[in-house]
Structure 1
């Protein structure tokens, strides 16, 4: 008979057992379930809700079960439904009827809420460490490529010259925001629900603050109904993961473009590329493509859990069991993508010459030519029109702006003089942009200094 089967007159159908069971995926929560149960047992003993001898027996039994699981000696029982009932069943088998007292003053409803919060807290720290590693790689590459000029794009059309350091630093900022979102999510996850019981708290004199302290939570939940039915932190966590993989996907898309023959900006290391089963010459960016492809998977988990939660009345409902597979797979996906993506970026080979030549094409210095006119006291809109005509002239003549003679410049506007040439070289276009946040060497040195300090100040625990 099941541990909850007192009011039932017959066994559940095997199909019901299988459909209702979550042990095949929530078994990964076992260390959190055991840790939470040990804290609960300590508190029950301290509060004299159970005897100190019973508390010690339960704690020692749980520690032995933990060792048994880690040694592969435990086979979880599907008929016990979930990790919580499996642990209680194993405890009773190990220490006898005393094990039945562990569940005093709690419910599976607040127990699973506790386990999930502990799990999410740990995963936030783990993923934050992976993001830190990726940022370190980006920072190192940015330092190496402060002078590597490349075309910057809007609408996937060449726009203005920048540096590879500047381009990579844009992703550094994205991942900085991702880490901030994870840290913010941690604050709302770090609240201890145990003691909420099924939905209305308990008549036992629990010391919830003691349990929170033992489990390293900053506070306890202040409403028992919300304590068992809140999954906001899971949704928020999946939202943060969705943003992370969206940024990885954008970066992957650029890597896929850059290593194509049409761009030829980079070459990926053979260790992070694959070949074709039919075309011997192929070297495919499959890692970047898979990261891009897995983005929809994480998005799907976020939308799935939002949809699950949208119509659930207070308090706990079995629908909430759907949070686990969504969160677990979201974590698994991100934890697979981040390390291999980091190594792929770290080992890519940059074709500086091709990048530089690409930056010289498509009139990427046109804006700087217009700015030169503005500095000669010409209104910007007038300058914009003149340079537009200059570009049209260049297209007709098959020339670049910097290749025009001063006579040709003056045909478009008499304002031009020989100093224009100093302002429209690709190097000048980059390094005259000294405003903080710009691509110049001077500006990038300041940003790299800020980001070095950021990494030092935000080193994972």
Structure 2
């Protein structure tokens, strides 16, 4: 049963149901075992417990690890107590030494950081995949013209490659956020005990190194009291999901009346009654989940906002928010990668609609300015042309408006052609970051180079963690070899 050293009576049945975290602690079962291994190895190396006791505890933990979370009793408040009770069952009196110089406060904080660390690196890897796909698609559609929008109205012609690069850059910033969050998350609280440290001669740097952390959260109270890393994890996920949601909104629109894309069958569904339908369900679900992530972030902030130092059980309610948010963001990222890998853009439709709504009005106004007409006057003149409600304007319409305004401008047909055709207008946008082919080619090249550097950073992060955990496994195996 739950440890209740100074309490004579059992916990009320409903009070236990209210306070237990066993319904979601499976998320950190594996990480709790890792923390136990590192802690026991450290205790033995520092002479706090003897080698034989450490060996019996480690072997018990190995058995629990192989049995899995489902074998643990649900009578306990949390996975930490359940594992410790099972260790005592298997290792006898020696098992009671496992929790020496440790509190559940630093234990759970460490487990949460390990869980978050792994999910963050998985999500970062998926973000890199999405970026790679977007850059590949940008190269594929380098000069495919499409309509651009403001206020969801046809505004100016652009290029599909330029639009996809905007997606890429938004998601690239999300990668940077995850990287920063990872660096603040990958620090060890273990060894801080309840909050004031311990009188035992523990080696916090050893356990940190064995668990693959980059260092420790030095102040022992801060180590157990802070959950800002958890809030940041949820925020980074929410930011990424907002990026996904905006993209999904466009995919939903583009697959409908706009007719800009063909949805891949693998990421669509059919109607239960209307056989002709191909619904963008995955994009809609991701759009909805973004809303839920905002709710999770709000909930985490609200729980956290007024908690006194050091540990409070309120933290437990934040844990489930972390687990759900990271897991659902990872799944959403994987879906987004697959969706963009297989989606087909209807370039013929994009081109045909690129001049819709007189989207070349600004370009014609610019032409007039280059002929000496003040921009505000040019704006009024072209506004008159817009009243004709034509998608494209020719020399005859232009001459009529000039006459109305008393202008005697000579514009050659080839000049008008340069500004009044979408494929020419986009090439005229040579300002930094604009839609000309040279600009876009340069942007793709720079982003491919940045992608490669980010991939190398993530490889180094994963390699460092893997090497540390291999050392931990080696230490564990040394106890197993002694038995044999």
Same fold (TM over 0.5): yes
Kindly indicate whether residue 441 of structure 2 is the aligned counterpart of residue 449 of structure 1. Answer: no
Which residue in the other structure is 2:201 paired with?
205
1:292-331 aligned at under 5 Å gives the runs 292-331=287-326
Q: How far apart are residue 196 of structure 1 and its match?
A: 1.3
The equivalent position to 1:432 in structure 2, one of 428, 432, 439, is: 428
**Residues 214-261 of structure 1, C-alpha deviation per residue, up to 9 Å, x if partnerless?**
11212212222221111101111101101111111111110111011x
Residues 18, 78 of structure 1: 8 Å contact kept? no
Which residue in the other structure is 2:75 paired with?
79
Which secondary structure state, in structure 2, belongs to the residue aligned with residue 153 of structure 1? strand
Which residue in the other structure is 2:366 paired with?
371
| Structure 2 unaligned regions, length at least 5 | 460-484
Kindly indicate whether residue 225 of structure 2 is the aligned counterpart of residue 229 of structure 1. Answer: yes
Residues 272, 287 of structure 1: 8 Å contact kept? yes
Which residue in the other structure is 2:480 paired with?
none
**Residues 408-432 of structure 1, C-alpha deviation per residue, up to 9 Å, x if partnerless?**
3642532341123322211111011
Which secondary structure state, in structure 2, belongs to the residue aligned with residue 78 of structure 1? coil
**Residues 74-104 of structure 1, C-alpha deviation per residue, up to 9 Å, x if partnerless?**
5222222111111111111111111111111
The equivalent position to 1:407 in structure 2, one of 386, 399, 411, is: 399
Which residue in the other structure is 2:213 paired with?
217
**Residues 377-411 of structure 1, C-alpha deviation per residue, up to 9 Å, x if partnerless?**
4332232222222323x33xx56224646633642
Which residue in the other structure is 1:43 paired with?
42
**Residues 121-158 of structure 1, C-alpha deviation per residue, up to 9 Å, x if partnerless?**
11110001111111111111111111111110000011
Question: 4+ residue stretches of structure 1 with deviation over 3 A?
Answer: 402-410
1:96/1:26 Cα in 2 relative to 1: closer, same or farther (>3 Å)? same
Which residue in the other structure is 2:31 paired with?
32
> Partners in 2 of 1:288 and 1:403 — Cα distance?
44
> Partners in 1 of 2:7 and 2:279 — Cα distance?
59
What TM-score, normalized to structure 1? 0.94
| Structure 1 unaligned regions, length at least 5 | none
Q: How far apart are residue 374 of structure 1 and its match?
A: 2.3
Kindly indicate whether residue 63 of structure 2 is the aligned counterpart of residue 64 of structure 1. Answer: yes
The equivalent position to 1:417 in structure 2, one of 407, 411, 417, is: 411
**Residues 343-372 of structure 1, C-alpha deviation per residue, up to 9 Å, x if partnerless?**
222222221111111111111111111222
Which residue in the other structure is 2:170 paired with?
174
Q: How far apart are residue 23 of structure 1 and its match?
A: 1.2
Residues 418, 425 of structure 2: 8 Å contact kept? no
Kindly indicate whether residue 157 of structure 2 is the aligned counterpart of residue 158 of structure 1. Answer: no
Which secondary structure state, in structure 2, belongs to the residue aligned with residue 15 of structure 1? helix
Q: How far apart are residue 55 of structure 1 and its match?
A: 2.2
> Partners in 1 of 2:90 and 2:409 — Cα distance?
93
> Partners in 1 of 2:7 and 2:445 — Cα distance?
68
> Partners in 1 of 2:362 and 2:187 — Cα distance?
53
What TM-score, normalized to structure 2? 0.90
RMSD: 1.7
Which secondary structure state, in structure 2, belongs to the residue aligned with residue 239 of structure 1? helix
Residues 35, 111 of structure 2: 8 Å contact kept? yes
The equivalent position to 2:377 in structure 1, one of 370, 379, 382, is: 382
The equivalent position to 1:268 in structure 2, one of 257, 263, 270, is: 263
Q: How far apart are residue 446 of structure 1 and its match?
A: 0.3
The equivalent position to 2:247 in structure 1, one of 246, 251, 261, is: 251
